[in-house]
Structure 1
Amino acid sequence: MRSVRQKGAARCALGFAAAAALCVLAACGGGGGGGGGAALPLGAVPALPAAPGGEPIGSSASLAGRCASPRLGVDPDTGAAFPDQVGSVAAEKNWVRAWIDESYLWYSEVPVLSAADYATPIAYFDVLKTPKLTASGRPKDRFHFAADTSAYREQSQAGTQVGYGVEFAFLSAAPPRDIRVAYTEPGSPAAQAALDRGLKLIGIDGIDVVAGTEVAALNAALAPTRAGQTHSFRLQSGDGSVRAVTLSSTQVARMPVQNVKTIATATGAVGYLLFNDHVGAAEGPLIAAVNALKAASVSDLVIDMRYNGGGLLEVASELAFMVATPEATNGTVFERLKFNDRNPFGLRNNEMNLPFYGTTRGYTTTAGDPLPQLGLSRVTVLAGPDTCSASESVVNGLRGVGITVNLVGAGTCGKPYGFFPQDNCGTTYFAIQFQGVNQLGFGDYGDGFAPTCAVADDFDHALGDPAEARLAAALALRSTGACPAAPVSKSAQALGKAEAAGIGYLLRPPARESRILARP
């Protein structure tokens, strides 16, 4: 799974209020779905340590659903009434503590903290994580987050989100700010207004975006919280011309698979597809894309996941299966889950292995239908620090069964971890519960995968344009076996430095940067 990945928290430190706004949204919830009402059934768990003051923590199953504000009605995930009972904030904090002690991958590294020092269950949850660092000095757990359950459900399952249908890239988050259009969702207000990739955002509602200090107003416009909010934007193109557009927020259905095409080369057709989200809604479009590329007899494939933060691990497995050869995927492991020593979900050894799924999972198709296969022995992935979690699983899983995966762009975000989203009292909690390793047992990439060819993102060309720097480099690598010289433009140099430091530039809800599994 991936969260706003503490990428949100990290970006708060950059000094731009839009980043701070996203952090606020994440704290309020703004992630997605899969949590039901009751606690997940845990396996045999050893006696838990005492809470501050010497009192036993108790089990999450016995503490679940004791809510300060119980929900009424029917849980859409189960079809049964919500299991909430009248409880208290203190009871919800007790559940959080128990859930962490039982299922968190690094439970023994969590500091002892008093729940009374934190105003809400979410605030308490936020600090119940390991303080340790990766080899590069980044926090080992940058991914801890909580989300409103109903909002998370919409994002992860339906792939919808309130907004304008535009992803902005924050190339420079502090003044002088440089905010560009990364891409738009087809049919969205932004697409209808022709907000093309690369346009620079210079004004919102008369406020100077580049140097302005009215951050609260900028936040309100950049991160609308409900449909029907209208704001005016001024955008500058590469030739210096400026135009104004007015956008109204709406419930945008994301199109996770876009721009599927074949590129003719001297040595055969190369397939390309832009894949932005591992949501359930991606299942059908991915199958359609692979069928189209197979019909075109592509000999190579470029998957553009530079902006794909992850999501459902089963969708990642389906994609990997459809890329690879039958020999590589027959009876092998796509990802093996490694839990803490308490085996909190009581899984048997074989239940910890996620296969290369050769049939549909039923998200947007009929479950059990055979998946097509391209039968490729190599694939190129366009990547960067916004490539996270389930997207990294595709890379690691394929490499584990001998498929060559070339990465063109920048290093990935570094999240070999995932969680089973768990709802309690209307909040879904995402605490790291497993590490994913491939068929060879490798999963130690907490600082990300390094690129085969380092190429800065190119905002002067459309995604899928063979002249776009990363795609052009992928095609050159395929034909010559060598990485081409990187662009040297001023913006490319600045962006390259940020990417080399592992700094992503898209601002997204945490649930869109995840490695998520359904209930075990």
Structure 2
Amino acid sequence: MKKLVLLFIVVSLFGCQDQSDPGGSSNPFQDKVYLKGLMNAWYLWNDDLSDIDVNNYATQDEMLASLRVEQDKWSLIQDKAEYDAYYGSGQITNGEEGVHGIYMHYATAEDLYIRFSYPGSKAYEAGLRRGTKINKINGLTVSDANSDAINSSLGENLQGVENTFEITIPPVTKYVNGQKSEVSPARDTTITIAKEELIVKPVLLSEVIELPGGKKVGHLVFKSFIETAEEALANAFAEFKSKGVTELVLDLRYNGGGRVNIASQIAGFVAPSSAGGKELFKYQHNELQSSEHDESREIELMESNLDLQRIFIFSEGGTASSSELVINSLKPYMDVQLIGENTYGKPVGSYAFVNENNNAYIYSIISLRILNAAGEGNYFNGIPVDLQVNDDVMYNWADVNEPMLYQALYKIENGTYDNQVVASARMSQIDLEYKNKSFKKGEAKEEAFNTIMVLKK
């Protein structure tokens, strides 16, 4: 019985009974028998399971969906080949599938913006980046449309499908020689790009901001806890260390999770040196597994450890799983200032089992609770923020006036948040759920694979 450790995020994919079946199982009955054994032995809530007759279920997905307790929104069976491709390289398109890799949001009833896009994509290179305003798509005036019309206008998700965007690239304000300066003006342009295969880039932005008083702040926008993040994070923190960074802003607002070893790596970069070798988090299992598998992970300081006493982390409702693990695990050792919106709420994890008799699936069954060194966890309602700030998509990530970044930098400079600005921003918020209801925050496969995972030794 091979197993990997994982935690699941935000997306509930049940209701589609064939979701885990890439090409048809050679023995669906044995798949269900295998799942029954997993649930009885490893499911965190195995005491709540009734006697299972596998013949009562048409598929293993139907069986799992019926067995999950109400609190469990995450146990899932996945295609192993797609799973391996995503975590190994960030690949989330197969065959001839193509996407632009852009994620949009109406900030007002008429104004459509790019929420984010991936560095290296055609869309990103052409100017469709965070804060870019979209005026027309293929001649469609977006102020008169909604997410359904926008999605329809973009055509099939196949490589080579072209779309034309009339856009306004936003100005960017940064600190230059101690003063806020517009380093690039707003400009209108028209671009035509083709859909392409998409490789997720886990780091969306890494930069060093020098404040007027000379203090240097590392600013990292981190999207995905996948294997390629290990090198990307090492490079980012090496730069932070070499440039004398003494404060860090870690943006996890769209980060739904990923491998737990990457979460541990981040802790090793940011935790105070006095925390080295101390407990970062611990796993708790059901009674059948607790004596053998309850274990702790210690803080291993990285070569580019910044020895911080405080960290600013940005969050919103999609911040989940591995991201929440980072937030909760650092709290016993440093001042964690959480800015934005309350996190999603997933304090449990799972082992990703592989049936050696059928290597087609990953069985991600909720199997453990995760607590920090102070024994704190169970944040099923999310981790509350220290300062509520709305996610404003009208700013580029690097713009120092972006509301969350502005507040973090203001507190670093002044010792308090700018509460007057926060109050004003809340008053101007507009409910646009009806315009945005069909926009995705990531590709479907990317969201499905948002997990916390390491190989279980």
Unaligned runs of 5+ in 2: 1-5, 171-185
Does the CA contact (< 8 Å) of 1:422 and 1:430 recur in 2? yes
Q: What is the alpha-carbon distance in structure 2 between the residues aligned to residue 93 and residue 170 of structure 1?
A: 41
Does the CA contact (< 8 Å) of 2:135 and 2:168 recur in 1? no
Does the CA contact (< 8 Å) of 2:268 and 2:300 recur in 1? yes
Aligned pair partner of 2:262 in 278, 302, 315:
315
Q: Deviations over 1:396-441 (max 9, x none)?
A: 11112x2111011111111111122123431212121111111111
Q: CA deviation at 1:95?
A: 1.5
Q: What is the alpha-carbon distance in structure 2 between the residues aligned to residue 212 and residue 408 of structure 1?
A: 28
Aligned residue identity for 1:486: V
Q: Deviations over 1:152-205 (max 9, x none)?
A: 111112122225352414569xx9798642222222121133213234567767
Matched, 1:448 2:448: no
Cα–Cα, structure 1 residues 102 and 176, in superposed 2: closer, same or farther, change >3 Å?
farther
Alignment of 1:206-225 (within 5 A): 210-211=145-146, 217=152, 221=156, 224=157
Does the CA contact (< 8 Å) of 1:106 and 1:130 recur in 2? yes
Alignment of 1:168-183 (within 5 A): 168-170=103-105, 180-183=113-116
Does the CA contact (< 8 Å) of 1:177 and 1:211 recur in 2? no
Q: What is the alpha-carbon distance in structure 2 between the residues aligned to residue 237 and residue 111 of structure 1?
A: 58
Aligned residue identity for 1:126: A
Q: What is the alpha-carbon distance in structure 2 between the residues aligned to residue 100 and residue 473 of structure 1?
A: 46
Unaligned runs of 5+ in 1: 10-22, 31-66, 71-86, 132-139, 359-369, 499-503
Number of the residue aligned with 1:254: 200
Cα–Cα, structure 1 residues 237 and 123, in superposed 2: closer, same or farther, change >3 Å?
farther
Matched, 1:69 2:25: yes
The structure in which a higher percent of residues are strand is 2
Aligned pair partner of 1:184 in 107, 114, 117:
117
Cα–Cα, structure 1 residues 237 and 513, in superposed 2: closer, same or farther, change >3 Å?
same
TM (norm. structure 1) is 0.71
Number of the residue aligned with 1:27: 19
Q: Deviations over 1:38-63 (max 9, x none)?
A: xxxxxxxxxxxxxxxxxxxxxxxxxx
Q: CA deviation at 1:329?
A: 2.4
**SS of equivalent to 1:420:** strand
Does the CA contact (< 8 Å) of 1:205 and 1:231 recur in 2? no
Number of the residue aligned with 2:319: 387
Cα–Cα, structure 1 residues 213 and 259, in superposed 2: closer, same or farther, change >3 Å?
closer
Cα–Cα, structure 1 residues 27 and 207, in superposed 2: closer, same or farther, change >3 Å?
farther
**SS of equivalent to 2:327:** helix
**SS of equivalent to 1:422:** strand
Aligned pair partner of 1:355 in 295, 298, 309:
298
Q: What is the alpha-carbon distance in structure 2 between the residues aligned to residue 432 and residue 208 of structure 1?
A: 45
**SS of equivalent to 2:128:** coil
Aligned residue identity for 2:203: V
Q: CA deviation at 1:256?
A: 1.1
Alignment of 1:106-255 (within 5 A): 106-110=45-49, 115-116=54-55, 118-131=57-70, 140-162=71-93, 163-164=98-99, 166-170=101-105, 180-199=113-132, 210-211=145-146, 217=152, 221=156, 224=157, 228-232=159-163, 234=165, 237=168, 245-255=191-201
Aligned residue identity for 2:75: H
Q: What is the alpha-carbon distance in structure 2 between the residues aligned to residue 119 and residue 246 of structure 1?
A: 46
Q: What is the alpha-carbon distance in structure 2 between the residues aligned to residue 483 and residue 447 of structure 1?
A: 25
Q: CA deviation at 1:68?
A: 6.1
Aligned residue identity for 1:69: S
Does the CA contact (< 8 Å) of 1:302 and 1:380 recur in 2? yes
Q: What is the alpha-carbon distance in structure 1 between the residues aligned to residue 155 and residue 78 of structure 2?
A: 20
Does the CA contact (< 8 Å) of 1:155 and 1:511 recur in 2? no
**SS of equivalent to 1:98:** helix
Number of residues of Structure 1 aligned to a counterpart in Structure 2: 419
Q: What is the alpha-carbon distance in structure 1 between the residues aligned to residue 62 and residue 154 of structure 2?
A: 22
Q: CA deviation at 1:325?
A: 1.6
Identity of aligned residues (%): 22
Matched, 1:519 2:443: no
Q: What is the alpha-carbon distance in structure 1 between the residues aligned to residue 188 and residue 18 of structure 2?
A: 33
Cα–Cα, structure 1 residues 211 and 169, in superposed 2: closer, same or farther, change >3 Å?
closer
Aligned residue identity for 1:337: Y
**Alignment RMSD (CA, Å):** 3.6
TM (norm. structure 2) is 0.80
Number of the residue aligned with 2:304: 372
Q: What is the alpha-carbon distance in structure 2 between the residues aligned to residue 233 and residue 29 of structure 1?
A: 36
Matched, 1:457 2:391: yes
Aligned residue identity for 1:5: V
Aligned residue identity for 1:159: G
Cα–Cα, structure 1 residues 183 and 434, in superposed 2: closer, same or farther, change >3 Å?
same
Aligned residue identity for 2:337: N
Number of the residue aligned with 1:264: 210
Does the CA contact (< 8 Å) of 2:8 and 2:349 recur in 1? no
Matched, 1:305 2:252: yes
Aligned pair partner of 1:437 in 348, 365, 371:
371
Q: What is the alpha-carbon distance in structure 2 between the residues aligned to residue 238 and residue 275 of structure 1?
A: 22
